[in-house]
Structure 1
Amino acid sequence: MFPWLNQVLSLHTVIWLLPIVFMFHDLEEIVTVEPFMRRNRMEIEKRLPSGIGKRLNKIFGMRTGSFAVAVGFMLLGVSFCTVWAGIALDQGGSLLPFAAALAVFFAHSFTHLGQSVLLRRYTPGVATAVLLVLPYSIYAYYRLFSADLLTWATAELGLLLGVGGVIPLLWLGHKTGTRLFKNGLDFE
């Protein structure tokens, strides 16, 4: 399968697929997270240690609109890293920001798998995590390593930078979304 994909997809296309796969994945989350949390809030609190379950319910118990704002912030970060990578491919620059975004996206898919295993059911985002995020991430890593554009050291550093960068971006997105929708932008 990889040889065929290598012929069909340029490296630029592989890089530009990141925000597209991200949008499909997060659309699944946006559409399903609020109703899922309403139905499963109590079970989540029971299955996780006391403080963690309540904290997750607070974070993921937000309205669909405020969650979408937080996802929008993440999309901006992913898009920035993708544009950077597109320019770096043409001009010989570093792909470290893209490596950071890809590492977090890849690792994020395992959180969805873990949630579904823990709860023994569908959880928001698991379908696209399995069908899109994991295959895309594996192929993107394969292409970047094959083209000698990524080393293990850069991939590891990317993961560290990605985790460090995603935390403030998520915080800002969640705070902004919560404020916007507390001030009457939620139409329900």
Structure 2
Amino acid sequence: MTRKSHDVDAVVTWGLLAAWALHDTEEMVMVPRWVRTQVPELRKRFPRVPQTVWRRLESVDAREFSTAVAAMAVLLAAACADGQRTGGRSAVYQTALNAFGLHGLVHLAQAAAMRGYTPGSATTPLVVLPFTVWARGRLRRSGVLRPTRPRQLAEGLGFAAVATVATHALAQAVPRRR
């Protein structure tokens, strides 16, 4: 396929996967320790949250979390490949890009609610939000950015939520070695 002048560069499409990898590296490094140290405090601060939620959070081991991250990488790689194939026009790619940025806002809201650090909140202002704004700007200048309306924001949040739940469910279903 010949590249059209209004298509975006691979750094815009595949850059999403690279930015996500940097961000999720922070999460992979920080989640186990953060869960260990913060869940007891969270139980006290949020007594109405069912104990099953806290137990489930504490039960996620490094293998399960790594498997979920790997599954998410596959989903994002597919979205980025579709973005590259379509010169950035892909609705799947643009939804994944929106999801990435919106999930960063969720990280910042979590950190604000906790009044401190939460895994993912350090790379959000350094990587997630700047990349999302930059990539959307490149898509806009190339004339391929779909209009962003409340529906697209809901789709982005929905994509992030469904992908997170699905990848963690898959990771939980992978048999553990004994």
Q: Which runs of 4+ in 1 moved over 3 A?
A: 46-49, 155-169
What code does the residue aligned with 1:30 have?
Answer: M
Which residue matches 2:118? 123
Tell which deviates more after alignment, 19-28 or 58-67.
58-67
Between 159-168 and 18-27, report the one with greater CA deviation: 159-168
State the shift of 1:25 in Å.
0.5
Alignment-derived partner of residue 147 in structure 1: 142
Aligned partner letter, 1:26: D
* Identical columns (%): 26
Q: Is the 8 A contact 1:96 1:158 kept in 2?
A: no
Given that 2:10 and 2:84 are in contact with CA atoms closer than 8 Å, whether structure 1 keeps it comes out as yes
Judge conservation of contact 1:101–1:158 (CA < 8 Å) in 2: no
**What is the rounded CA distance, in whole Å, between the counterparts of 1:81 and 1:113 in structure 2?**
24
**Alpha-carbon distance between aligned partners in 1 of 2:51 and 2:110, rounded to the nearest angstrom:** 12
Q: From the superposition, tell whether residues 180 and 151 of structure 1 become closer, same or farther in structure 2 (CA, over 3 Å).
A: closer
1:81 maps to which residue?
Answer: 79
Secondary structure at the counterpart of residue 119 of structure 2: coil
1:57 shift after superposition: 5.9
**Aligned ranges 1:104-119 → 2 under 5 Å:** 104-119=99-114
TM-score (norm 2): 0.82
Aligned equivalent of 1:29: 27
1:51 maps to what in 2?
A: 49
Segments of 5+ residues of structure 2 without an aligned counterpart are 1-7
Alignment correspondent of 2:96? 101
For residue 62 of structure 1, what is the aligned residue in structure 2?
60
- CA 1:56–1:141: 2 relative to 1, 3 Å: farther
Q: Distance in 1 between matches of 2:11 and 2:46?
A: 40
The answer to whether the 8 A contact 2:103-2:157 is kept is no
Contact 2:35 2:57 in 1 (8 A): no
What TM-score do you get using the length of structure 1 for normalisation? 0.79
Q: State the alpha-carbon separation in 2 of the partners of residues 167 and 130 from structure 1.
A: 20
Rounded to whole Å, the distance in 2 between the matches of 1:52 and 1:78 is: 32
Q: 1:60–1:137: structure 2 CA closer, same or farther, 3 Å change rule?
A: farther
Question: Could you list the per-position Cα deviations for residues 22-70 of structure 1 after superposition, in whole angstroms to 9, with x for gaps in the alignment?
Answer: 1111011011101101100022233346237852662465112211111
Matched to 2:24, the amino acid is D
Pick 1 or 2: higher relative contact order, CA cutoff 8 A, min separation 6: 2
* 1:18 maps to amino acid: L
Partner in structure 1 of residue 4 of structure 2: none
